[in-house]
Structure 1
Amino acid sequence: MTETDRLDAILARDAPAVARALSPLGRRAAFPRGIPWQSDQARGARINATIGQLTDGRGNPMPLDALSTGVADLDPQMTWLYAPVEGPRALRQTWIDRQRRVAGGPATRVSLPVVTHGLTHSLSVLASLFCDDDTTVLLPDPVWENYHLLFGLNAAPRFASWSFFRDGRLDVGSFSDEVAKVRGKLIVILNFPGNPSGYMPTSAEVDELVAALQRAHGPVVVVCDDAYQGWVYADDVHPRSLFWDLAERLDPEKFTVWKVDGATKELLFFSSRVGFLTHANTSGDAEDALLSKTKTIIRGTVGSPSGPAMALIQRGLSNGEVERQFSLRRQELGRRWSALAIGLERLSGSILTPFPFNGAFFALLAVADGHDPERIRLRLLHDHSVGVVAFPKAIRLAYCSLHADDIPLLVDRLVQVAE
């Protein structure tokens, strides 16, 4: 039996939803017993001549002083030497401990996260593992366009969409209808609070989303894109990532549930390119098999994650002030959110209608039928020196990058264009 056959047999036995959902590439993937595998086995050996990286012969790095002088307080091993393909275990454990803490301490069994080269890479890994020409990928409308690129780059799935808002509310009915239509493999991406919507659902809406998914035929891969986790400003929203509710309440015989998150927004480390990929409801041999397949995709694309960024994140998460500092940034953004929400009330009755927004970094304005969002974007840019992003039926405002003093001026110029 080949290693590929062994892993697939384990998943078929212990994680049937995963086994049924794998793409042909996902089924083939098995971590090779090459240099990383052999060097990992030799870790701790008295003489280790496995891996091609310069050390002092005792496992310590020998960086150039011209580079190392400014980062002397970072973990030298994590900063300068090759990381394990799946990322350093200490960082992976630190990250999942924080995720559990901010979610209120759920007891649900989840994997140790794998470190990726950012959230986009996490999504790309999932596309490689699960997406093929026989897959339906269900996305909201409006949507972050990169999902189409990531899941359509190496396969030709069917993309389906559900209407995100209707009459000023989350359109769970549209979501439920689209889920029920799919008879084969389904990938569902849930991005709350999200881009471009800036919306976090209430607990009642989460219950409705879970109920809609429970009626799916399967197999279903549910991807919780938690890029903006923690960035919520209203009190009446669901208090944690949907990942935990889905992991607790969806049948693992039919569903495999994944969490995509990272340092980009949660730690405001936009240049870090450090993401994490976690899945629920596997253990033992099945978890090891999925780790092997995930590592194979990572090894075949980026090799391993970036050491200096991981060392900075590990140090930051070990600082007792990090959560207080995050809270201060959230309060600042919450003030901008409140000012913008109040200001946008002036658009009532115009060709621009704000969708509900209570989180992430964005406000989304629906553009009335008969009006072109791209023309509105260009008019704002050329006539009013205001930059926004046009979507097919809306424009998006990223208030995260606005000075609070500029929000009234932004609203004034939106009103001028919308009249």
Structure 2
Amino acid sequence: EINATIGMALDDDGEPLILSFLKNYINLSNPSDGFTYAGSFGDINLRKNWAEQIRKKNPSINKEISLPIVTNALTHGLSIFGYLFMNINDVIISPDLYWGNYRLIFQTAYGAKIQTFETFKDNSSFNIEGFEKLISSQTSDKITILLNFPNNPTGYTPTYKEAMKINDIIIKTAEKGKKVIVVCDDAYFGLGFEEGIIKESPFAMLCQAHKNILCVKIDGPTKEDYVWGFRVGFITYGIKNGTKALYGALENKTGGAVRGNISNASNLSQNLLLQAYKNPLYDKEKESKFNILKNRYLEVTSILKENKNYFEAFEPLPFNSGYFMCIRLKNADAEEVRQILLKKYSIGLIALGKDIIRVAFSATPTKVLRKLFDGLYKAALEVSKK
């Protein structure tokens, strides 16, 4: 009858005590849902909905997995993973081309060490041999592997053949008695633009593979549903023979970590997403946005095929998915090229290390992509001739 527990302000009718004009800005079936707490685990209806989406998008998952826990988008999800599973000096295995924020999340915040292997072999395929060699060199009984496909920054997703080899290496490592954690950063999931590359998350392929492999899927609508500012993500667990009790414990630990870190994620964003997933226009609109990105990808591949002279200044790294592609400069410093592009051509790109530049075709209108690459070519030549 009387609930004097929650740290919210309610009016005498039990509704949230909110500024009335703010409610007018929110087009929810119940606008008050945008003002209340969601709970540390997240909105239960959204969690169930996302779990259904995971299974629909990854039909290989035919056994029980955990119910997703809501995070404040993927960066926060990765940080919560680090809080729960990383100890000081723990090693995380990753390709050498990875999202720079991993260093802040895992190394700076939690004291883990990112060890890398060269991402590509002969600039044409995923470096399976390098991946296997680095895993084989690990002396600890605990091995953490970070898989991010489509990859940021390269925009690469493995072929089915490459993915099977990656899986085999991980499974053989587990069979030797190693305790393997595979964390899947699925930020760009679903944005594959070529045939022959994996359409499911590595999580789907490995979450039931071996009792010594714990798979952690970190994903969300940020890129999948084009809601970058909503800041909603999910953490989901999978392991062979995982029981409800085990998954319940992992969910409780994760929900507790979220509570101790941010209390809970935005209820407004969660309710907007729930409403979006029920909208009859959802699938059509999403396909439309996907096609825009795919057409930009195809334009980039066409530009590179038609302008072989570009290859005297740079070569593209393999790409087939996601938001980005990278080029490797042949005789020029990446930061110098970036500065010239910005000052002389009014083109903004990201320099990575000494010789790699990342191009976000996701944010570039199709009609100016040719101008972008022409400017990149000219700037690279200018620096190389200094």
- CA shift for structure 1 position 296: 2.1
Judged with a 3 Å threshold, the aligned counterparts in structure 2 of structure 1 residues 55 and 72 are, in CA distance, closer, same or farther, namely farther
Residues in 1 aligned to 2:12 and 2:48: alpha-carbon distance in whole angstroms: 28
Contact 1:222 1:256 in 2 (8 A): yes
Tell me the equivalent position of 1:86: 41
Contact 2:144 2:182 in 1 (8 A): yes
* Aligned partner of 2:170 among 185, 204, 213: 213
1:180 and 2:136 correspond: yes
Tell me the equivalent position of 1:160: 115
- CA shift for structure 1 position 57: 5.4
Contact 1:180 1:215 in 2 (8 A): no
Tell me the equivalent position of 2:238: 280
Task: Judge which range, 330-339 or 292-301, deviates more.
Answer: 292-301
1:80-229 matches, within 5 Å, as 80-104=35-59, 106-167=61-122, 168-184=124-140, 185-216=142-173, 218-229=178-189
TM-score normalised to the size of structure 1? Answer: 0.85
The letter of the residue matching 1:236 is G
1:381 and 2:342 correspond: yes
- CA shift for structure 1 position 61: 2.5
- Structure 1: 5+ residue runs without aligned partners? 1-45
Judged with a 3 Å threshold, the aligned counterparts in structure 2 of structure 1 residues 284 and 377 are, in CA distance, closer, same or farther, namely same
Tell me the equivalent position of 1:327: 287
1:315 and 2:270 correspond: no
TM-score normalised to the size of structure 2? Answer: 0.92
Residues in 2 aligned to 1:74 and 1:191: alpha-carbon distance in whole angstroms: 36
Q: CA RMSD in A?
A: 1.6
Q: Secondary structure of the equivalent of 1:248? A: coil
* Aligned partner of 1:362 among 318, 324, 327: 324
- CA shift for structure 1 position 283: 2.4
- CA shift for structure 1 position 417: 2.5
Residues in 1 aligned to 2:165 and 2:347: alpha-carbon distance in whole angstroms: 38
- CA shift for structure 1 position 310: 0.8
- CA shift for structure 1 position 214: 1.7
Judged with a 3 Å threshold, the aligned counterparts in structure 2 of structure 1 residues 173 and 315 are, in CA distance, closer, same or farther, namely same
**Percent identical:** 29
Tell me the equivalent position of 1:258: 216
Task: Judge which range, 387-396 or 344-353, deviates more.
Answer: 344-353
- Structure 2: 5+ residue runs without aligned partners? 382-386
Q: Secondary structure of the equivalent of 2:51? A: helix
Residues in 1 aligned to 2:86 and 2:284: alpha-carbon distance in whole angstroms: 40
Aligned residues between the structures: 371
Cα displacement string for residues 147-171 of structure 1 (whole angstroms, at most 9, x for unaligned residues): 1110112332232101111211111
